Amino acid sequence: MEPELRRGGVKIALAQVNVTVGDIQGNEAKIARILSQTKASKADLVVFPELALTGYPPEDLLFKRVFIQQNLAALKRLVGRTRGIAAVFGFADRDARGRLYNAAAVAVNGRLVHRYHKMELPNYGVFDEKRYFTPGKQPLVLGLPSSSPSMTLEGKLQRGSNPDSRFRGNDGRVLVGLSICEDIWVDPGPVRMEAKAGARILINLSASPYHAGKRSEREKLLIRRARSTKAWICYLNLVGGQDELVFDGGSMVVDPRGRIIFRAPQFREGLYLVEVPSMVAPATGPAAVLPVASSPSAPILSSDEEIFEALVLGTRDYVMKNQFAHAVIGLSGGIDSALTAAIAVAALGKEKVTGVSMPSRYSSPQTKADARAVAKGLGIQFLEIPIEPVFQSIIKTLLGIFKGRRPDVTEENLQARIRGTLLMALSNKFHWLVLATGNKSEISTGYCTLYGDMVGGFAVIKDLPKTWVYRLSSTANRVFGRAVIPKSVFTRPPTAELKPNQKDQDTLPPYERLDRIVRAYVEEDRSTEETRRIAKASKAEIRRVLRMIDLNEYKRRQAPIGIKITPRAFGRDRRMPITNRFAEV
């Protein structure tokens, strides 16, 4: 049974929305619809995520004056829609000197009463906020009466100032501190200052991208902040895919004891109403959670379920937001393409996915049969285009030039590039998006063909190590409730089938060891010796694999973008020079 609320609880609506970068008109319309819905729920306050009006991250769109102007015009219209409610919107602000701010607007009863500027700007990993924004200088505490939706500004806090008596809530107002994303990660920082000034509810607007383990990191952080500030924390996160980033939602409310009393679903939009007891002293009981078109609190996903949902959402939003109607995948009969196809079907529906088998003289009957079986199990359209005639034609064309030279990797790569050409022809003719199927283990070492199997508009499992591919393939079968990826795909040794009896392990270490090497060297920046010890590899093997990783940056720079899953993905996370003579030893 839910505990009884003290009279005058504060009803806060958390709008966990999926917006599109640059679609200011569409984002405005979505926010306006939610404002109307929230008014009907009798909420005191509705909050939207960081930069909800522009989408996150807007990157160099922020340098376009017209982009900033349109976002400010949309904000003005939305403020006019707040009659009867208080609302907080994330937007991009500009001052009289032309400086930009990552900002939150506080609107009440049709008036803009305050603009808060994010104080802590992240500039690491996937974040480049110091490239665009100026840091704010003042924390913000607002007074919110619980009896009516009329918020007034109680005053401004200067950085490092002492609490002022105006902020202590002696007039019965509920004091609310406002912050944006990184502000709550830095301590001491704005959030602690707001709590010292008397704020009993701390609202954080975020656009925090997902990687495996991020939900747990956030929860531990918010628990610490709630306990140290002795305040309620209402954390609102963006949801949706944006290029290689996925925002997983997972908004939550944490009470002053550090208990998570509400979790919004991950990877899904929703409007959630939470009621927090309105009292100046720290609360002693959990808040009641009132569902708005959703269950009160979402179940916690397992690690593999999280990753699968992230891949599905990232794929769906990339395809749909870029206005593709259909996806096409080269089905080799191997596990990488099978998992990519399963994710695509979960994201788009079977009617919007086509699988293409392109067998060569080296393709085994089993891999050809498995390609058909995957397509049949998923219920997708299946095409078979043998590449032997094209391969023979190219070999004949090059025969005189290659005279006297033995076949080598050149002929192997020709097969991959023929397949890439065929997939791109289908893409051009039918406006299908080619989904590349390479995994992180292969891309790390360059065990892939430029303009061949690297061809594609989007690389679904680009940041998924090979050992994770097997785990997620099992998850896919559980999600579909049947073996859409046959057992033979799991048990057959991985092979590119570009020459007789070829196996991946002819070139690479066993994937279990290779993935330990990649994690230590690429994701954790370990030294050569540390990597060798962690991976339990020989010195010769370490030297060979690390050289492969270092020399193949040029390939990775030309690869399609893909969904970030690990804490450090290639691309935005890890930026290495291609022309580079550094060697550790």
Question: Phi, psi (5° rounding) for residue 282?
Answer: -55, 140
pLDDT in tens, 351-362: 999 999 999 999
Q: What is the pLDDT of residue 99?
A: 97
pLDDT tier for residue 150 given thresholds of 50, 70 and 90: very low
- DSSP for 9-24, please give it: PEEEEEEE----TT-H
pLDDT tier for residue 161 given thresholds of 50, 70 and 90: very low
pLDDT in tens, 62-100: 999 999 999 999 999 999 999 999 999 999 999 999 999
Residue where the block lists tokens 């829609």: 81
The verdict on 218 and 343 lying in the same domain is no
Q: Is residue 556 part of a domain?
A: no
The verdict on 171 and 211 lying in the same domain is yes
The verdict on 48 and 124 lying in the same domain is yes
Q: Is residue 292 part of a domain?
A: yes
Structural domain for 316, as ranges: 305-499
The verdict on 342 and 271 lying in the same domain is no
Question: Catalytic: which of 28, 154, 181, 194?
Answer: 181
The verdict on 227 and 100 lying in the same domain is yes
Residue 235's Cβ-count burial label (10 Å; 0-12, 13-18, 19+) is buried
Choose the final residue of a domain: 499, 515, 535: 499
Q: What is the pLDDT of residue 344?
A: 98
Q: Which residues pair with 178 in a beta bridge?
A: 140, 203
> For 91-116, what is the mean pLDDT?
96
What is the total count of domains within the chain?
A: 2
Residue 200 DSSP code: S
3-class secondary structure, 108: strand
Q: Is residue 578 part of a domain?
A: no
pLDDT tier for residue 583 given thresholds of 50, 70 and 90: confident
> Which among 449, 445, 446 has a CA at the least distance from the CA of 418?
449
Choose the final residue of a domain: 499, 527, 546: 499
3-class secondary structure, 381: strand
The verdict on 290 and 309 lying in the same domain is no
CATH code (residue 460): 3.40.50.620
Q: How many CB atoms lie within 10 A of CB 473?
A: 19
The verdict on 270 and 314 lying in the same domain is no
CA distance 141 to 200: 10
The verdict on 293 and 396 lying in the same domain is no
Residue where the block lists tokens 């192997």: 412
Question: Catalytic: which of 118, 321, 466, 564?
Answer: 118
Q: Is residue 535 part of a domain?
A: no
Is 396 catalytic? The answer is: no
pLDDT in tens, 178-232: 999 999 999 999 999 999 999 999 999 999 999 999 999 999 999 999 999 999 9
Q: Are 358 and 386 in contact (CB under 8 A)?
A: yes
Q: What is the pLDDT of residue 585?
A: 60
Q: What percent of the chain has pLDDT over 90?
A: 83
Both tokens of residue 300?
Answer: 């916690």
Question: Catalytic: which of 28, 50, 244, 275?
Answer: 50
Both tokens of residue 43?
Answer: 């909420």
The verdict on 99 and 200 lying in the same domain is yes
Q: Are 289 and 38 in contact (CB under 8 A)?
A: no
Both tokens of residue 263?
Answer: 């979790």
Tell me what the pLDDT averaged over the chain comes to. 90
443 or 162, which is more confident? 443
Residue 153, pLDDT > 70, answer no
Both tokens of residue 274?
Answer: 């939470």
> Which among 125, 242, 136 has a CA at the least distance from the CA of 183?
136
- The separation between CA 134 and the C-alpha centre of its own chain, rounded to angstroms, equals 25
The verdict on 234 and 313 lying in the same domain is no
> For 498-512, what is the mean pLDDT?
88
Q: Is residue 538 part of a domain?
A: no
Residue 282, pLDDT > 60, answer no
Q: How many residues does the chain have?
A: 585
Q: How many CB atoms lie within 10 A of CB 538?
A: 11
Q: What is the pLDDT of residue 388?
A: 96
Residue 501's Cβ-count burial label (10 Å; 0-12, 13-18, 19+) is exposed
CATH code (residue 272): 3.60.110.10
Q: Is residue 570 part of a domain?
A: no
> Which among 514, 491, 494 has a CA at the least distance from the CA of 503?
494
Residue 8, pLDDT > 70, answer no
Residue 145, pLDDT > 90, answer no
Is 118 catalytic? The answer is: yes
Q: What percent of the chain has pLDDT over 70?
A: 90
The verdict on 312 and 273 lying in the same domain is no
Q: Is residue 173 part of a domain?
A: yes
SS3 content of the chain, % helix, strand, coil (to 5): 40, 20, 45
Choose the final residue of a domain: 481, 499, 517: 499
pLDDT tier for residue 172 given thresholds of 50, 70 and 90: low
pLDDT in tens, 378-437: 999 999 999 999 999 999 999 999 999 999 999 999 999 999 999 999 999 999 999 999
The verdict on 244 and 317 lying in the same domain is no
> For 130-151, what is the mean pLDDT?
78
Angle of CA points 375, 338, 556, to nearest 5°: 135
pTM: 0.92
Q: Is residue 577 part of a domain?
A: no
